[in-house]
C-alpha cells in the first residue's frame, strides 16, 4: 500500500511539474483598455479565436468575428456580448477557402468600419475532411486566404497605425518544407494532409517575416504566434468517433484550454514594446528562434510572390477589394462555403466612431538580439 501511495504521489507530482512548465500558458498582460479601437478575429466562433475575441471585448475593443458559419458566428457574437458586457461585438461572414468571399468581406468591412487596429488570423484547418477541391485546401485556408485579406485591409491598417497583424501558426512549421513547384496541388490522403498542414504553418511564419519587411516604417507590425498544444475543436474535429471518448480525457489532462491557447496571440496583439520584434515567431508569450527554413528571407520573398499569384494579385500588383483581377483559380465559393458567404452581413449596425488613443505614446523600445543567418 505504501508503495502504491508513493507511486501515486510521484505521478501526481510529475503531472503538476509538466502542467505548470509545459501546459499552463502564461497570462497575457499588455494594454488594459482598447476602447475606441477595432479588431478583426477570424474563426472566432469557437476555441482559441473565441477566447481571443472575448479578451479583446473585455478590454473595450469593437470586435468583428469573421466566421464561415453565419449561425455559429451570430451565436458566438451573442455569447461574447453577454459575457464581456461589450455590445460592440459583431459577426461578418468570411470563408477563407473562397477568394471571392475574402474580397466580399474586405469590401463590406471597409465600407462599414472606419478603423482597423488589430487583425488576428486565427482561423485554420488541419484536414480537408470530405471535401475535394481542385487546389490545396489547407494552404488556401491557412495561408492564401489570410494573405489576400491582409493585402486588402492594409490601407486601413496603415491609416490607423500603430496597428498590428497576428498570424496564428504552430510548432508544426518545424516539419514543413515548401515545394514551390506544387504549392497549390490538391491534397489526397492523411499523410499528404499532415505534410500540407506543416507546410501551411511554415508559410504562416515566412509570411509574417516578409510582411514585416514590406511594412517597415509604416507603423504596422506583425507577428507569428504559436498557441501551444490546445484542447480545441481543431484537435478533435477529425478524430474517428470510436477514438474520441478515449482521447478527450487525455486531452483534458495534457492540453491547454482554449483560453490558455489565446494568451500568446493576445500577447502579440497587445504587449507594449515588441515593435522591434516585428516579423518574429512567438511561443509562450516570448520570442522563440525558428529553424533555418523558417528564417530564409529568399524563401519568404519567393512565397510572397507565389502567394500574390495564387491570391489573384498579379506580379507587382496589390489589388484593392473593388478591383477584379483574374487569378488562376477564380476563387469561386468552395464546397465548404455557406450559400450566403458571398454577401457578408453585419450582425448589428455600426455605432458612432470613437477617437482612438495613440499606441505609440504607451510603447517603449527594447533591444533585439541579432538573429543567426540561415
Q: H/E element holding 287?
A: strand 286-287
- Cell 495534457, located at residue: 254
Nearest alpha carbon to residue 92 among 366, 341, 320: 341
Which strands sit side by side in the sheet containing 89-93, from one edge to the other? 89-93, 62-67, 38-42, 118-121, 163-168, 220-226, 281-283, 286-287
C-alpha cell at 178: 515548401
Nearest alpha carbon to residue 171 among 296, 285, 288: 288
Cα distance between residue 310 and residue 185, in whole Å? 11
Spatial contact of 368 and 49, defined as CB atoms under 8 Å apart? no
Cα distance between residue 275 and residue 217, in whole Å? 11
Question: To 10 degrees, the CA torsion angle through 140, 229, 211, 55?
Answer: 100
Q: H/E element holding 42?
A: strand 38-42
Cα distance between residue 252 and residue 178, in whole Å? 33
C-alpha cell at 72: 455559429
| Non-local CB neighbours of 317 within 8 Å, separated by 6+ positions | 308, 325
Q: How far is CA 180 from CA 116, 303, 342, in A?
A: 33, 8, 30
Residues noted as catalytic: 197
Question: To 10 degrees, the CA torsion angle through 257, 260, 264, 269?
Answer: 100
| Residue 180 dihedral angles phi and psi, to the nearest 5° | -70, -10
Amino acid at each position: 500500500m505504501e508503495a502504491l501511495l508513493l507511486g501515486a504521489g510521484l505521478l501526481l507530482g510529475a503531472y503538476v511539474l509538466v502542467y505548470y512548465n509545459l501546459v499552463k500558458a502564461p497570462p497575457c498582460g499588455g494594454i488594459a483598455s482598447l476602447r475606441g479601437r477595432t479588431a478583426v478575429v477570424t474563426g472566432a466562433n469557437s476555441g482559441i479565436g473565441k477566447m481571443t475575441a472575448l479578451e479583446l471585448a473585455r478590454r473595450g475593443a469593437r470586435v468583428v468575428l469573421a466566421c464561415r458559419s453565419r449561425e455559429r458566428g451570430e451565436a458566438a457574437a451573442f455569447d461574447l456580448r453577454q459575457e464581456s458586457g461589450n455590445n460592440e461585438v459583431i459577426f461578418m461572414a468570411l470563408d477563407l477557402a473562397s477568394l471571392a468571399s475574402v474580397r466580399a468581406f474586405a469590401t463590406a468591412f471597409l465600407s462599414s468600419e472606419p478603423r482597423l487596429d488589430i487583425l488576428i488570423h486565427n482561423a485554420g484547418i488541419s484536414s480537408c475532411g470530405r471535401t475535394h477541391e481542385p487546389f490545396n485546401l489547407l494552404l488556401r485556408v491557412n495561408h492564401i486566404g489570410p494573405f489576400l485579406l491582409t493585402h486588402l485591409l492594409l490601407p486601413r491598417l496603415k491609416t490607423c497605425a500603430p496597428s498590428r497583424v497576428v498570424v496564428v501558426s504552430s510548432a508544426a512549421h518545424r516539419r514543413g518544407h515548401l515545394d514551390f513547384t506544387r504549392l497549390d496541388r490538391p491534397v489526397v490522403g492523411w499523410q499528404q494532409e499532415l505534410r500540407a498542414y506543416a507546410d501551411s504553418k511554415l508559410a504562416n511564419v515566412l509570411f509574417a517575416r516578409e510582411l514585416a519587411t514590406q511594412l517597415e516604417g509604416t507603423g504596422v507590425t506583425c507577428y507569428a504566434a504559436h498557441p501551444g498544444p490546445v484542447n480545441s475543436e481543431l484537435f478533435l474535429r477529425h478524430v474517428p468517433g470510436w477514438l474520441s471518448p478515449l482521447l478527450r480525457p487525455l486531452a483534458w489532462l495534457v492540453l491547454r484550454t482554449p483560453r490558455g491557447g489565446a494568451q500568446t496571440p493576445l500577447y502579440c496583439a497587445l504587449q507594449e514594446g515588441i515593435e522591434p520584434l516585428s516579423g518574429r515567431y512567438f511561443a509562450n508569450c516570448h520570442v522563440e528562434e525558428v529553424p533555418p527554413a523558417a528564417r530564409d528571407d529568399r524563401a519568404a520573398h519567393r512565397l510572397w510572390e507565389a502567394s500574390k499569384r495564387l491570391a489573384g494579385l498579379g506580379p507587382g500588383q496589390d489589388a484593392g477589394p473593388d478591383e477584379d483581377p483574374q487569378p488562376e483559380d477564380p476563387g469561386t465559393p468552395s464546397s465548404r462555403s455557406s450559400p450566403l458567404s458571398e454577401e457578408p452581413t453585419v450582425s448589428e449596425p455600426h455605432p458612432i466612431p470613437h477617437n482612438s488613443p495613440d499606441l505609440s505614446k504607451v510603447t517603449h523600445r527594447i533591444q533585439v538580439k541579432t538573429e543567426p543567418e540561415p
